[in-house]
Every structure is written in structure tokens, then in C-alpha cells.
Structure 1
């Protein structure tokens, strides 16, 4: 996921106990830099609770390499053998992932693990698999073979060698859990940044909405194409130019098509999802790549409380209807595309 840059206006503290300079903690977790800022006075101790919660969830999901066998590892190890009991949180995470897989009709699939393990893009041992290897794992990818027992909290993968991979939604889920911790501790003004999965809580110290910069998918982190105002919202950006493998002059990005076995190949360079829940933004930012620009625009227009910013490979920006008057272009290298595109995709 791309980092999203904040433009924060300097201001003084107010009568509601909101400070100009926040309590802040930054750690390297889940393979990325994680930062949480709390602007409420006398809430510094909440940071410890937040990071403890993140560490527990990251370990259960398997996002920390040195944390031992995770619950997801155990589910994968017992594929085709027996159901595995998991925690309430992990059960709900897997259930949400299966629901999104169904919405995408399999073009987004949480059982993509055998394929992502083959390519392993983003790691030192990344490689382009042989076609025979790809053909061998594609039949293992089928979210419908994830059997969930709500009463017993068990997860069962019906076929041996199936593997769940929650990388497309895990950070969004954890961001929502962090937000719960903040709410339980009466924190009203905060920023959660899980390596680019952003959640802005409340308003900034001046009482205005936060100003959030939208990442340029073709440039280094911190370079933006525009900005929006946001409050109590998640902003998640995914794109094809940050994590990739280059073989014989051809670039393969990390967003893999579970049906074809190769990275999605369409006109989208990056997409930003604005939503109330971060898990929705995380899942949708990946799911949209499976649909392409026109169908992706039409899909988001049908989702309640969700908006999107698309950047195509020709430096055109397309906005869903709820952002047409909210997005401000700040980069002269880009232009706003034809808004009628969303209507074409829905025909």
C-alpha cells in the first residue's frame, strides 16, 4: 500500500483538551512503519494499549515473522485434514475476507496463498514461476472451499495444500481494531497510519477536517496528485508501482489475478478508497484492480458510504460522484478524466 501524506495546519490547543502537538509512537510492525498519533490531553497511556493490541493481532494473523506459528498458519497446515478453532477476531476477519471474495466473484480470493507464495513479490526470493507451477496451484484457489462454523469458531480448508492469504485485508482489519481501542478509551482526535492504511479520527486541533494528500502512484512516497478533506474516515491506496518483480525487462506487480495466475493487466495505476471502515478500503482497493477502470467505477458507485479516486496509466484521474466536489488536483502532471466514465461502466 502507498503511504498517504498529511497536510496539517499549525494551530493551538482548544478548550476540549485537544493538543496541537500529539502523543506519538512509531514502530516497525507487520513489515512496515506504523505510527499512531493521539491529540487528546492525558491520553498518552492509550498508545501502549494500541500497540499491544496490534502486536497480538499481527501475531495471530502471521504478519510478524518472529512470532511463531500463527492461527492462520495452523489453519493452512490443517488444510484437508480438520477444522481449526480460531479467536473471535480472526474468525470475523476470515469471514469478511470470504464475503469480499464472493462479492468479487472470485477475482479477489482469500485462498490465493498458493499463488502469492509462488511469486513472493516484495521479498528477496521473488521470482516468475513456470507456467506448469501456476497451473498446478490455480485449482487450489477457491474461497467457496473455506468452511466456517460460527458456533464453534472453526475454519476448515477442504483441499490439501490450500492456503489462506489475508494480506489484502489484514492491515485494514487491524486499523479498525485500533480505532475501537481509541474509542473505548475516549480518544476523539487521532491519526492511525499502518504503512499507508490511514484512518483520521475526529477533526484536527483547529476543529476542521483533516487534509489528506493522495499518493502519486508513479513517484516515491510523499509525492501527491491531489488532496481531500476527511473526518472519521479510512483512506487506503493501492497501486502497481511500489512492489514489483522485473524479469527480462518486464515488470510484474504484486496484485495477482487468482483466475489467471499473473498480475492484473489493465489501465489502472493506482486507486484510493475512502470509507468508514478500513477493512472495506483495504479489500476494495485490491478488488477494484480485478475489475478494471470502467467496471471498478461502476462497482464503487453501488457501494454505500464508499468513494474512490482512480489514477490510470495515462495520468488521468477519475472520481466517483461523492468526491467530484471534494477532490482538489495539486499536480500539473495529471488531469481529471471524463466523469461520464462511471455511467459507461454501469451500462
Structure 2
């Protein structure tokens, strides 16, 4: 599972927009280090920079809601049993995560936190956790033991066993991107790009007749070599890959997408899954879910869903597309 709010870099080719509003050839852009990554919001509608700064403020607001590691966050309080009543937004996010746990039959599991906290892929010298510690942590990984009960005040009651730790790092950035899009549209910004450290959400298009162009970086390349480029409008692009955070120990490769059944990284011949969806939260959930399921089952899941497309990349460099992906490819 993704353990922080981090996804692979997507190269943005953000071009000008035109239409009934005042459009810009060069966007108004704000940047910041939020959610443990670099965030960039660019509007092609002439707008006050203070409005865009509100997007950065939203990143802080939602980090306070759903960060596993931030001691002041609501999720931290839940994981440490300091509260069992949570606001509606956090309840709805957890409910969505649990839905994808069920869809994958536990191959994706938001209760992976007891295990993911043992793995530190950002350390100066990352190391494989002690096997006994992983085995102990695995006893707390079971999404079926998390229960949400709606309350009359609109909040939720959450119950889960002592020792269970929710980790929403695999889904939170998609949720936040959707909230930022809602905020932009509320301020009449209909042409924009939201980039939350590689989770990209296009608001509108380049113009009424032209799409934005987004490039997906090729796995394990040090340069900006692209795997593919996409033509997108009102669409999210989210990737999960073994090249995001990894290290070697005793010549063995370890990456950050953990198998809830073993506590160790998945070994399923995949290096990347990229999802296209209208809702970024769906893309975020599906990128990790499909990676966990593997090529055959992951592709079958995508084909069963409406208006969702995907690209799978295997360790030998082979690329597999869902049936409707071709209409987005910039060839």
C-alpha cells in the first residue's frame, strides 16, 4: 500500500485555454510543499492568486483530517482510540476505502497501517523490518473488523480492534484533488490543472475544442522520458508503481506497495498501474487495488467498470491497455 501521500511524477504539458471567460496563455500558478510532496495548482482562467492559495489551504485542512502520521489529525486520534466519532468527510473516505477492500477481497486493505509503519522507505538507509515485528503487526490487518455507523448529526461512529491502524495514504490525495476541483469550480475556474505530487486532475480542457496533454513518466528512468502521453479533459490520472519508493537489501528489491497477506512488498511482475477516471478518488483507489490484484485480475476489474481506463506495465517493459484506452493516447 502507499504509505504516505505520494505518487509517481506525471509530466504536465499544460497549454493555453480560451473561451467565454478571460483566458490566459500562461497560467496563474501556486506551488507549495504539502501532503509530503510538491503541489502545483495552475489556472488558465484569470483569477486572483489568493483564490488559488485557498487550494493550498485545503491541502492543510484535509491533511489534518486524514494523515496517519500527523499527531494533530483526526485519523491519528482514531488510530490511537482517542475518539470514535468522526466527521462525515472522513467517514465517507473510510467507507470508500472499505468498498475497495471488499472489491479486491482484501488484496487492498486500508488497515495495513500496523505493517506500513514498520517500513521506512524515506530513511537514509532503509532496511527490511524484523520478521517477527511484521508477523505481529499482521494480526491487526483485517478490514472486515472496521465498522462505520452513521449518526443522526451527520457524523459516523467508527469501531475497530485495539492495535488496528488505518492508513489512507493510498486514497487520500485523490479525495483531496476532487475537493480542490469542487473549490475551483465554485470560483468559476473551469480550466485548470491540479497536481498533487503526481496525482493529476484536469479541470476542463485546453479550450472548448482541445484537451490538455499529460505525459506519464516511464518507470525507473532518471530523465523525463515518457511512457506515453494522454489527451485529457475533466479527467484524473493516478499511478501506482514499484519505482515510487524502493531500496535494495542483499541484492533483493523492496518497494512500498505492501501485500496485506504477507507484510512484504507485492511480487507480481508489475512495475506500474495508471488509472484514468473522472473522479480522482476512484483512480487513487483503483491504482493500488489493480496493482495488488495483478495484471489479469486487475485488467478484468477495469473492464467491468464504466468510464474507467488503465495502463499496466510489467517488469519486462510490456504495456497492456484496457479496451477503451486508445481514445486517450496521443500518438
Q: Contact 2:28–2:49 at 8 Å: present in 1 too?
A: yes
Deviation sequence 1:114-156 (CA, Å, 0-9, x none):
0101123234474312222221111211111111111152343
Please point out which of 170, 188, 191 is paired with 1:189: 191
Number of the residue aligned with 2:30: 25
Number of the residue aligned with 2:247: 245
- TM-score w.r.t. structure 2 length? 0.92
- State the alpha-carbon separation in 1 of the partners of residues 165 and 151 from structure 2: 23
- State the alpha-carbon separation in 2 of the partners of residues 155 and 104 from structure 1: 24
Number of the residue aligned with 2:8: 2
1:74 is the counterpart of 2:77 = yes
Within 5 A, what are the aligned runs for 1:100-115? 100-115=100-115
1:297 is the counterpart of 2:299 = yes
In structure 2, the CA distance between the partners of 1:98 and 1:155, relative to structure 1 (3 Å rule), is farther
Please point out which of 298, 307, 316 is paired with 1:314: 316
Q: Contact 2:299–2:322 at 8 Å: present in 1 too?
A: yes
Provide the alpha-carbon RMSD of the alignment: 2.0
Number of the residue aligned with 1:199: 201
Gaps of 5+ in 1: 330-347
Number of the residue aligned with 2:96: 96
Q: Contact 2:302–2:310 at 8 Å: present in 1 too?
A: yes
Number of the residue aligned with 1:219: 221
User: What stretches of structure 1 move > 6 A for 4+ residues in a row?
Assistant: none
- State the alpha-carbon separation in 1 of the partners of residues 228 and 73 from structure 2: 39
> 299-308 or 14-23: which moved more?
14-23
Secondary structure, aligned partner of 1:309: strand
Deviation sequence 1:37-95 (CA, Å, 0-9, x none):
01112353321222222211112212774xx42111110111xxx85222221111111
Secondary structure, aligned partner of 2:275: strand
Gaps of 5+ in 2: 1-6
Q: Give the C-alpha shift of residue 308 in structure 1.
A: 0.2
Within 5 A, what are the aligned runs for 1:273-292? 273-292=275-294
- State the alpha-carbon separation in 1 of the partners of residues 161 and 148 from structure 2: 14
Q: Contact 1:20–1:205 at 8 Å: present in 2 too?
A: no
Aligned residues: 323
- State the alpha-carbon separation in 1 of the partners of residues 135 and 212 from structure 2: 47
- TM-score w.r.t. structure 1 length? 0.88
